[in-house]
Amino acid sequence: MLQQQLTTLLAQTDIALTEKQQQQLVQYVELLNKWNKAYNLTSVRLPEDMMIKHIMDSLVVAPHLPGHHYIDVGTGPGLPGIVLAIALPDTQFILLDSLGKRVRFLMQVKHELGLKNVTPVQSRVEDYQPSVKLDGVLSRAFASLQDMVDWCSHLIDHSGKFIALKGVFPSEELESLPVGVKFEQKITLEVPKLDAQRHLIILSKD
C-alpha cells in the first residue's frame, strides 16, 4: 500500500530512486508510525499522510543539494535528513537534535535501514562543533531565518549555505536578516498531493 503510494507520488516528480531506496523510505515511514505511538515524534498520525507531508516534502529538496556534507539542525525524527540521506547516498548528513528520545529513534533508523551516511547527534545547536567542513546547514520548521543564522553561524564558513525549508515565502523574515548574511536564492518546490506553498530559501555569509 505505502510502496504503491510512493511509486505514484514519485511519478509526479523528476526524482529517480532505486527499488532499494524506495523500500528504505517505506521502512522509515513504518518505523516512524510504530515509534510515534509511544514517543510522539510527529503530529502526523497516518502513514499515508506521512508519505506526503514528510517524505515527499523532504525529498523535493534533494536535487538542490550540490555538496557532500550537511547538518540537519532540529532534525526531530529525521526530517528532512533521513529522507535526503536515503535519496543521496554519497552525501553525509549530521542529524542534530537536543532530545534524547528523537536521537534514539534516529539511531534505530540508521541501524535498521543500514544508512552509512547518517550521524545522529544529541546536542544543542549552539554547543555543537562539526569535525568536518560543512557545505550547508539544513532546517525544516526549526526556527525563523534570523534565529537559524544566529544559532548556526559557527557551523559554516563563507563557502557554506544556510538552507531553510519554508512554507509561504518569508518576506518579513528576509527583510530582518542580520548584518553579514545575504539572501541568495529562493526555489519554489512542488510537492505532489500537497495543497500548500513550499519554498527553499538559500542564504550565505557576506
Q: Which among 118, 119, 181 is positioned nearest to 144, based on CA atoms? A: 181
Position 26 confidence tier, pLDDT thresholds 50, 70, 90: very high
138 annotated as ligand-binding: no
User: Which pLDDT does position 93 carry in this prediction?
Assistant: 98
Q: Does 184 belong to an annotated binding site?
A: no
Q: Is the pLDDT of residue 141 over 90?
A: no
Q: pTM score > 0.95 for this model?
A: yes
* Confidence (pLDDT) at 25: 98
> Among 2-11, 96-105, 139-148, which stretch is predicted with the lowest mean pLDDT?
139-148
Q: Is 126 annotated as a binding residue?
A: yes
| Model confidence pLDDT, tens digit, residues 72-82 | 999 999 999 99
pLDDT in tens, 104-134: 999 999 999 999 999 999 999 999 999 999 9
Average pLDDT of the residues of the chain: 97
**Residue 13 has what pLDDT?**
97
Arithmetic mean of pLDDT, 95-102: 97
pLDDT of 180 over the 90 cut: yes
Could you write out the DSSP letters of every residue in 17-50? --HHHHHHHHHHHHHHHHHHHHH---S---HHHH
- Cα–Cα distance between 144 and 203 in angstroms, integer? 13
Q: Is 179 annotated as a binding residue?
A: no
Give the CA angle between residues 79, 83, 88 to the nearest 5°: 130
Q: Is 140 known to sit in a ligand binding site?
A: yes
* All domains of the chain in start order, with CATH: 1-205 (3.40.50.150)
Q: What phi and psi, each to the nearest 5 degrees, are found at residue 165?
A: -90, 115
